[in-house]
Chain A
Amino acid sequence: MTWSVTARGAHQPDNTAFTQQRLPAWQPLLSASIALPLFFCAGLAFIGLGLGLYYTSNGIKELEYDYTGNSGTSNCSVSCQCAWYFSLPELFQGPVFLYYELSNFYQNYRRYVVSRDDAQLSGLQSALRQPINECAPYQYSAGGLPIAPCGAIANSLFNDSFSLWHQRSAGGPYVEVPLDRTGIAWWSDYHVKFRNPPLVNGSLALAFQGTAPPPNWPRPVYELSSDPNNTGFINQDFVVWMRTAALPTFRKLYARIRQGNYTAGLPRGAYRVNITYNYPVTAFGGHKRIIFSSISWMGGKNPFLGIAYLVVGSLCILTGFVMLVVYIRYQDQNDDDDDEE
């Protein structure tokens, strides 16, 4: 159409690239010459990454022990003290983390997940006295007192405890390995989300006066630990437990081993883990495990990611080859360029 700028009508649309839909556009046409190298490069990169990941993951050591105790394979049973003996033939490269693992425990169950009061846990006075309704039936005790901390999550706090003993030489005495129980929770949880209510006369116990502990707890929340920085709502075991796990089989960090002679890891020798067995798991058919694990830059031991990268990388290369073959044959038939997508 011909039209002149001088004689434009009042209703004539603007002739801009936008309104005329003539914006410079790039059509992603993948021709074989681009697609094939792309596939090969990506494949190689993926394989390289995968190999690195795989070896890193393989370098991580893990030692685990199921102490559930109902199958007869272990010496543990309900509510008792029991022990697990193991020996390390060589140095267990540190830093070593001690986890406990529960399986078949659906911490992500909807009604379980919501059964907590974050306001109460952040030290809010009003919430301490009046927990939110989501906590029910662990909202108020039978005596009518508000439960602190309220809710099902807190009520089901994992209460097994472990201690690690090291026998340097055969027949020698067992020396307790110091377990660092601090710093196992997220920094943000410990410092921001979880706060004790303001002390009354310098006493945490008084601050919690007028509240009841969760029904399953043998002692109130302010007696969780003797360390004033690790008791009440900011007890790190408690904080870790309150961060509900994503999957029914989950680990939670119990302690880090990094003090004294054990900064480099666990030296070789015999070890004993003393377990105070309290937590019932038979009700849901669960298992309890204790795990020693070292970590790397990519976290715990998990070969999957490396394998996945390897598989995807090889798939890329494979399809690249297939396409190359197709491309060559296609080109033979008719000398035409075609997009491969």
Chain B
Amino acid sequence: KHYCGNRVKTSKYTVLSFLPKNIFEQLHRFANLYFLALVALNFVPVVNAFQPEVSTIPIGTILAVTAIKDAWEDFRRFKSDKVINNQECFIYSRKEQSYVQKRWKDVCVGDFIQMRCNEIIPADILLLFSSDPSGICHLETANLDGETNLKQRRVVKGFSQRVTQEALLEPEHFHNTIVCEKPNNNLNKFKGYMEHPDKTRTGFGSESLLLRGCTIRNTEMAVGIVIYAGHCPCVIIKNRADSYKKRKGQRQIGTDFLISLKILVILTLFSGHSLWNRTFEEHPPFDVPDANGNFLPLTLGGFYMFLTMIILLQVLIPISLYVSIELVKLGQVFFLHNDLDLYDEETDVPIQCRALNVTEDLGQIQYIFSDKTGTLTENKMVFRRCTIMGSEFSHQENAKRLETPKELDSDSEEWTHYQCLSFPSRWAQGPTTVRGQGGAQPLRRSQSAQVPIQGHSRQRSMGRCENSQPPVAFSSPIEKDVTPDKSLLTKVRDAALWLETLSDTRPAKPSLSTASSIADFFLALTICNSVMVSTTTEPRQRVRIGDGRDGQVKPVIMAHNNITHTSLCFCDGCTCLGNVTISSSTKALGMSLEKIQQLFQRLKLLSLSQSFSSTAPSDTDLGESLGTNVPTTDSDERDDSSVCKGPALGLTSPELCYEAESPDEAALVHAAHAYSFTLVSRTPEQVTVRLPQGICLTFDLLCTLGFDSVRKRMSVVVRHPLTGEIIVYTKGADSVIMDLLEDPARVTDSNVEKKLRKIQARTQKHLDLYARDGLRTLCIAKKVVSEEYFQRWASFRHEAEAALDNRDELLMETAQHLENQLTLLGATGIEDRLQDGVPDTIAALQEAGIQIWVLTGDKQETAINIAYSCRLLDQTDTVYTINTENQETCDSILNCVLEEVKQFHGPRKPDRKLFGFCLPSEMPSTASVDVVPKVGLVIDGKTLNVIFQGKLEKKFLELTQYCRSVLCCRSTPLQKSMIVKLVRDKLRVMTLSIGDGANDVSMIQAADIGIGISGQEGMQAVMSSDFAISRFRHLKKLLLVHGHWCYSRLARMVVYFFYKNVCYVNLLFWYQFFCGFSGSTMIDYWQTIFFNLFFTSVPPLVFGVLDKDISAETLLALPELYKRGQNSECYNLSTFWISMVDAFYQSLVCFFIPYLTYRDSDIDVFTFGTPINTIALATILLHQAIEMKTWTIIHVLVLVTSFLMYFVISLVYNATCVTCNSPTNPYWVMEGQLSDLTFYLVCFLTPVVALLPR
């Protein structure tokens, strides 16, 4: 079977194929085809109106301009391809029996590739070996989706044990067969299996796949086999899928094209050549017979004449319109891109315009569909409250502290002060820490080292210069610092103590005591996530474990040997010695070698004495043994005032840097960290947690059931190091977890049952409370499973993982088997802060007549609260909530609400007790009757499903049209896009979707305009969007100002283009009445062509790019002005016709004033045409001048230049061309006219008359 090579070719053309291919592609455009047909027609001698050669010029120019543009773009692609193809990598070569350096383009499917740290992966590779002892390879996928956190990929299961390192370095010994599916475009969907020589099969999935374009991090070396190369890798396939959206404006232009075509045909038919010809009995001398001296029959002659006229009047259809529109949009995008108001200084990102052809649609938006999280809100999660075992901890200190950073934000001086405090201490030891390894090791994730500093220094004052990359995600100071609740803190201490006792006594049965629950709660927070820990000192050299006790001690001693010259070698995977806190403090205190040796002695003893695989002396122990006052347990520090938290944190644990896939997880881990449950390290097999006392507990990670949007939860299965129990920690959306909880009725002990019920009820109450406050809620639950049960389950799981077919379903099923009968531990409330200026923006957009819908996956209460806080809903609004799963009820509700809304007068309390729940809409009883409250509609995902299935869309839409805003909660990405499509197609409106996460991608693609927010959740939304902004508030200016401008500019330019061409062509048309409808022109062909190509092409472009009909300030102040664009007021059929009539009038004037002036004189054809041409030019340019609302120096310059250019070119042309343009012979015509006074008089009078009505 043939596999394609790894050479990537994104360029469309080669030197040879460019011309035919490009022309072929251009001819797909209807207008080009039309003009080409006309040119071809012109080559038929009987009907030609122009010289055939001349007639090819306009279309040739248009094609050439487009071709040059395409060629330039393609050349850039070619160059970037070349760079990529020539990148180097190490491929195993059979000949040389080793890895040799080759280029990317030489990589073939089946090659073994060796990759080092910081290398970019050249193709889709199945990971077979990693230098990491646990078979993990870390990836940074920033090139793919912009996420800067590290992802783990593991060596194919079963492979790591079977094949040793030596075998892999000698790929000759690789005899396995790899079977995998065809490449698809889903980055996370991949499955296959490997058949070993002994016919056993091992399945693997996307967790073993290294995707092309990612960067290897923190891993010394990885070896893999190429699976997809060249154009097959998932990334490339994904990027290829590009949907073309047909724009409303283009449709309009299309219809106008057709109208113009009809006018053309009518005009042409009008010229009844044959009728006129019939009036002569014999052939007049000017009726020239054909070459053989025969005269054509009248009908045939008439038909020929018809075709000639079509060619002649073809200019009616603006040939350069498409090119001009593209150029104008380019200019508009340039200005969009350069707008300072759309620039976010924090992230240093201006607006990104990814689609060039939608600028005018920005001015016509009628519906906005917005995501909530990350779009309206910051998506910087802040831990706010939690409830554990039914008791609520409100964290008021934390709330207070959250207020203070805001003030500090404005006062950067204070921050720099803090920075000074924390800074020297870090950097003083920095060099020593780095020196030992830094020389030999490649630099790894250097930015993670800087993050803590950046967090405090407000990023701008420093870090910019040396670090252009954005800081690692989710590590703003606000998120990291959580001030513990005092009452909880004491309880946590108790809990920690309880944990310690646990280590001695090992109680067998799970206790329901508060202390244990609290401990469990925080352990769950710490463990149940996919947060990666990266330390400032890298690489993480993991020490092998599992080789027995000796193996554990050995590396420690090794480290001890190294200590003299490399500061400390950390083995955070195994012992808590790996914690840099100690090292830095000890180092800073000038710890002597003996003391360290003592320390290691102790450690050795300890580790031997304890039966756990890894436990180590605590900080405090160390600190005490060294006799120093190392900042001991974090909790001590944290009791201090909240203000100095920043520097304090910076000092105590600057090394631990959490890289989470979602900000919620980061927030939770940070919260746990605040209670001294610190996540120290995470490997696929183990998680190490440092407890408040400083003890490090290492949990064996038995299984991780990752988060997905269907299950809405994630679980980890760990073996408790102290008790040996197998515990399932589950974290998930409250609605899901609450359903999965252990049924209290099944508990035998009535006391316990009561307690459980109470806890559940109270937690639910707290959850509702949180939701009302606009917090995101997560429930934490746990479950202890027996060893046998787990083994059975694990084997199922393993089977499911190995399955090639319907693996996803099996995995889901197994997950569901495990995640039930849970015991509720508690719940957390995380605040998602509103972005700056969101309420303002929403208010302005609503004023502009835009309906805003919020489509979110969040809880209803949360969504509604956010809606209130961002003024999407007003307190006086009536809010209807529809929650139902039944089709009939849904139907009846819709009917009811619709009726109610229709006869909506006076205050009315929505009373929907029967179905769904009723939100207390606060109707001020004092409100006068004439204040008609607006309507808000809240609907949830289930109801949406019912609506879509039950064909209730119409009613739903009818209802929504009465609503000020609509909130859809609990909706899946698919539902989001369905809603967008529904509104877009059924209501025929312009829609805009805005979102930031991967779950918004479908919605963004479904809408007319997709806007991605380049924020926290990676780049997927941005990749699929048309525009990417960094803040929601930018939307205001983007739509109200730029949208309006772009729309009005482009619309008026298009109308102007049609006007210009109709006006000009009519001159020719009127002349047909005086030349026997023979299709002759009074204007030289070249002049005609130049007229459109040069003299009148630039001013409309400038007009389209620069004109401002209303100033930005006015537009922002009066959002109502936006409605003009929504109603297509600048460009609809009536404006089109008005401009047509105008064009007719002007052309009449432009033709007949010279006609009457020169009648009965000895004027010749082209002397007659010259003033007409001049007048037309002056009229058209002056018309443009009147159309322009603002004049800048550029406008004036361009207009004057165009006008002067006409004269200069005409003069030169007429002076040099004696016999060149055969029948017209324009020699000295212009010069003759310029010396004639009548010419000036006519030229002065006519434009005035033509433009007087305006």
How distant is the Cα of A13 from the Cα of B348 in the complex, in angstroms?
10
How distant is the Cα of A191 from the Cα of B1097 in the complex, in angstroms?
37
Convert A171-194 into 0s and 1s, putting 1 for each residue whose CB lies closer than 8 angstroms to a CB of B. Answer: 000000000000000101100110
How distant is the Cα of A122 from the Cα of B1217 in the complex, in angstroms?
12
A20 engages B338 (CB within 8 Å): yes
B1094 within 8 A of A: no
B1159 within 8 A of A: yes
Convert B511-533 into 0s and 1s, putting 1 for each residue whose CB lies closer than 8 angstroms to a CB of A. Answer: 00000000000000000000000
List the one stretch of A67-75, A243-251, A260-268 in contact with chain B: A243-251
Convert B1155-1175 into 0s and 1s, putting 1 for each residue whose CB lies closer than 8 angstroms to a CB of A. Answer: 111111111111111000000
Residue picked from A10, A23, A247, A286, most chain B C-beta under 10 Å: A247
How distant is the Cα of A116 from the Cα of B288 in the complex, in angstroms?
12
Convert B1166-1197 into 0s and 1s, putting 1 for each residue whose CB lies closer than 8 angstroms to a CB of A. Answer: 11110000000000000000101111111000
Convert A226-241 into 0s and 1s, putting 1 for each residue whose CB lies closer than 8 angstroms to a CB of B. Answer: 0000000000000010
**Chain B residues, Cβ within 8 Å of A192:** 1218, 1227-1228
How distant is the Cα of A333 from the Cα of B573 in the complex, in angstroms?
86
B37 within 8 A of A: no
**Chain B residues, Cβ within 8 Å of A298:** 1237-1238, 1241
Enumerate A1-27 residues with CB–CB distance to B below 8 Å. 1, 3, 7, 9-15, 19-21, 23-27
A193 and B1241 contact, Cβ closer than 8 Å, known pairs A137-B289, A156-B285, A246-B1082? no
A302 engages B1157 (CB within 8 Å): yes
**Chain B residues, Cβ within 8 Å of A240:** 1162
B1118 within 8 A of A: no
A27 and B1191 contact, Cβ closer than 8 Å, known pairs A246-B1082, A285-B280? yes
B923 within 8 A of A: no
A105 within 8 A of B: yes
How distant is the Cα of A193 from the Cα of B1217 in the complex, in angstroms?
10
A305 within 8 A of B: yes
A188 and B1228 contact, Cβ closer than 8 Å, known pairs A106-B284, A299-B1238, A312-B1248? yes
B282 engages A137 (CB within 8 Å): no
User: Closest CB of chain B to A84's CB: distance in Å?
Assistant: 19
A257 within 8 A of B: no
Residue from A28, A115, A251 within 8 A of B1162 (CB atoms)? A251
A27 and B291 contact, Cβ closer than 8 Å, known pairs A7-B460, A246-B1164? no
B337 within 8 A of A: yes
List the one stretch of B172-180, B370-378, B1073-1081 in contact with chain A: B1073-1081
A118 engages B1222 (CB within 8 Å): yes
A300 within 8 A of B: yes
Closest to A296 in B: B1237
**Chain A residues, Cβ within 8 Å of B1168:** 246-247
**Chain A residues, Cβ within 8 Å of B1169:** 246
Closest to A103 in B: B1160
A132 within 8 A of B: yes
Question: How many residue pairs, one in A and one in B, have C-beta atoms under 8 Å apart?
Answer: 247
A186 engages B1228 (CB within 8 Å): yes
Closest to A127 in B: B1219
A134 within 8 A of B: yes
User: Closest CB of chain B to A159's CB: distance in Å?
Assistant: 12
B53 within 8 A of A: no
A312 and B1249 contact, Cβ closer than 8 Å, known pairs A106-B284, A114-B1222, A305-B1238? yes
How distant is the Cα of A21 from the Cα of B1236 in the complex, in angstroms?
43
Residue from B286, B334, B1227 within 8 A of A152 (CB atoms)? B286
How distant is the Cα of A53 from the Cα of B1157 in the complex, in angstroms?
12
A284 and B1108 contact, Cβ closer than 8 Å, known pairs A245-B1165, A302-B1159, A302-B1160? no
**Chain A residues, Cβ within 8 Å of B1245:** 46, 305, 308-309, 312
A137 engages B292 (CB within 8 Å): yes
**Chain B residues, Cβ within 8 Å of A13:** 337-340, 343, 350
B21 within 8 A of A: no
Enumerate B1042-1077 residues with CB–CB distance to A below 8 Å. 1074-1076
Closest to A53 in B: B1241
User: Closest CB of chain B to A256's CB: distance in Å?
Assistant: 13
B1232 within 8 A of A: yes
B1079 engages A284 (CB within 8 Å): no
User: Closest CB of chain A to B607's CB: distance in Å?
Assistant: 50
Residue from B291, B1082, B1158, B1232 within 8 A of A186 (CB atoms)? B1232
A248 and B1164 contact, Cβ closer than 8 Å, known pairs A19-B335, A188-B1227? no
User: Closest CB of chain B to A268's CB: distance in Å?
Assistant: 26
B769 within 8 A of A: no
B283 within 8 A of A: yes
B345 engages A9 (CB within 8 Å): yes
A115 and B288 contact, Cβ closer than 8 Å, known pairs A11-B348, A108-B1165, A247-B1168? yes
A109 and B349 contact, Cβ closer than 8 Å, known pairs A12-B343, A244-B1165, A246-B1168? no
A305 engages B1241 (CB within 8 Å): yes
A253 within 8 A of B: yes
**Chain B residues, Cβ within 8 Å of A101:** 1160
B1232 engages A249 (CB within 8 Å): no
B284 engages A284 (CB within 8 Å): yes
How distant is the Cα of A308 from the Cα of B1189 in the complex, in angstroms?
30
A288 within 8 A of B: no
Closest to A136 in B: B291
A111 within 8 A of B: yes
Convert B275-299 into 0s and 1s, putting 1 for each residue whose CB lies closer than 8 angstroms to a CB of A. Answer: 0000111111111111111000000
How distant is the Cα of A19 from the Cα of B1106 in the complex, in angstroms?
10
**Chain A residues, Cβ within 8 Å of B1191:** 25-28
B505 within 8 A of A: no
Closest to B283 in A: A283
B464 within 8 A of A: yes
A109 and B1222 contact, Cβ closer than 8 Å, known pairs A20-B339, A25-B1191, A192-B1227? no
B317 within 8 A of A: no
**Chain B residues, Cβ within 8 Å of A316:** 1252
**Chain A residues, Cβ within 8 Å of B1159:** 247, 249, 302, 304
A294 within 8 A of B: no
B1237 engages A297 (CB within 8 Å): yes
Enumerate A90-147 residues with CB–CB distance to B below 8 Å. 99, 101, 105-119, 121-122, 132-134, 136-137, 139
How distant is the Cα of A132 from the Cα of B1157 in the complex, in angstroms?
35
**Chain A residues, Cβ within 8 Å of B1161:** 250-251, 299-300, 302
**Chain B residues, Cβ within 8 Å of A121:** 1219
How distant is the Cα of A96 from the Cα of B1156 in the complex, in angstroms?
23
**Chain B residues, Cβ within 8 Å of A152:** 285-286, 288
A118 engages B1225 (CB within 8 Å): yes
How distant is the Cα of A139 from the Cα of B1157 in the complex, in angstroms?
37
B1075 engages A106 (CB within 8 Å): yes
B292 engages A108 (CB within 8 Å): no
A26 engages B1078 (CB within 8 Å): no
How distant is the Cα of A25 from the Cα of B1249 in the complex, in angstroms?
28
Closest to B1045 in A: A21
A25 engages B1079 (CB within 8 Å): no
A137 engages B1108 (CB within 8 Å): no
Q: Can you report 26 residue pairs joining A to B where beta carbons are below 8 Å apart?
A: A12-B340, A13-B337, A13-B343, A25-B1190, A42-B1248, A105-B286, A108-B1078, A109-B287, A109-B1075, A112-B286, A117-B1222, A122-B1219, A134-B1222, A137-B291, A155-B285, A193-B1219, A245-B1165, A246-B1158, A246-B1164, A246-B1169, A247-B1074, A247-B1159, A251-B1162, A285-B279, A300-B1160, A302-B1159
5 further A-B pairs in the complex, CB-CB below 8 A; given A105-B284, A136-B290, A300-B1160: A7-B460, A12-B343, A20-B338, A245-B1163, A249-B1160
Sort A-B residue pairs by CB-CB distance and give the 3 closest, nearest first: A9-B348, A246-B1168, A284-B284
Binding site for A on B (CB under 8 A): 49, 279-293, 308, 334-335, 337-341, 343, 345, 348-350, 460-461, 464, 468, 1074-1076, 1078-1080, 1082, 1106, 1108, 1112, 1153, 1155-1169, 1186, 1188-1194, 1218-1219, 1222-1223, 1225, 1227-1228, 1231-1232, 1236-1238, 1241-1242, 1245, 1248-1249, 1252, 1254
